[in-house]
Structure 1
Amino acid sequence: MKAVLQSYVDGFAAGDPAAVAGLFADDAVIEDPVGHPPVQGRAAIDEFYANAVGAGTKLTLDTPIRGSHGSRAAMAFTVEVPAMGIRIRAIDVLTFGEDGKVTRMEAFWGPDDIEQ
């Protein structure tokens, strides 16, 4: 799980939305941020990451990636979106299927976590 999360960060660094989206199961759910309407399904996930990576978004880990004894892992990181001139402090919690693909991603951040 930790390797998949590192691949997520690396995909953004490489500007490769297909690499990031490819970490997700076809029927995965993305809730970014939690409380926002979810993104679900292959086409929507591909579009979500094409837009995010296409905006020049970069991720920087704030702490080492954390795993669990179950099917979840988390990372605290900073999201920089140069196109919007913002920085977001976030924590993502990802749930994995038995095949190692991400089945759910929950991003925890809110208005107080955004810097202009």
Structure 2
Amino acid sequence: MDAQLIRRRMARYVELVDAGDIDGILSLYADDAVIEDPVGAPPIVGIEAIARFYREGLGRAEASAQLTGPVRVASNGSGAMPFRVDLVWNGEPCSLHVIDVMEFDGNGRIRTMKAYWGELNMERRPE
């Protein structure tokens, strides 16, 4: 797996989250992908369930996103990245700091995604 391809795909994921482009996000995933968002939540399995997850979450939020550090790529076809999602949470503008870890298949599509975040990683933004 090409490290530069992984780096580009992961950065592209954040760009698509920022744009609210759910179809674009879904195109990055393998059909049998599994996500855990946040880690500890029940796994979401398969592209149809993943589509529901993004449409019901991101699709209903006015969110923006940006990388907050470089994408790190391992030699086994996986990578990790820190990023921030700005959104309205329980009626208040907040920033959520996330680290996503993704594994890619041989076609460069996301096979697994684990999002590391919790309420301790959320901060209120001034209105």
Verify same fold: TM over 0.5.
Answer: yes
Moved more, 77-86 or 41-50: 77-86
Whichever of the two has the greater Rg, that structure is 2
> How far apart are 1:52 and its partner, in Å?
3.2
Measured against aligned partners, the alpha-carbon deviations of 1:75-97 in whole angstroms (never above 9, x if no partner) come to: 10111123643321110000001
For structure 2, which runs of at least 5 residues remain unmatched after alignment?
A: 1-5
TM-score, normalised to structure 1, is: 0.91
> Displaced runs of 4+ in structure 1, greater than 2 A?
82-86
Q: Which residue of 1 aligns with 2:108?
A: 100
Say whether residues 1:90 and 2:98 are aligned partners: yes
Conservation of the 8 A alpha-carbon contact between 1:18 and 1:50? no
Say whether residues 1:67 and 2:69 are aligned partners: no
Provide the alpha-carbon RMSD of the alignment: 1.4
Say whether residues 1:38 and 2:43 are aligned partners: yes
Q: Which amino acid aligns with 1:67?
A: V
* Corresponding residue SS for 2:102: strand
> How far apart are 1:53 and its partner, in Å?
2.9
Measured against aligned partners, the alpha-carbon deviations of 1:25-76 in whole angstroms (never above 9, x if no partner) come to: 1111110111111111111111112233321222111101111111111110
Identity %: 37
For structure 1, which runs of at least 5 residues remain unmatched after alignment?
A: none
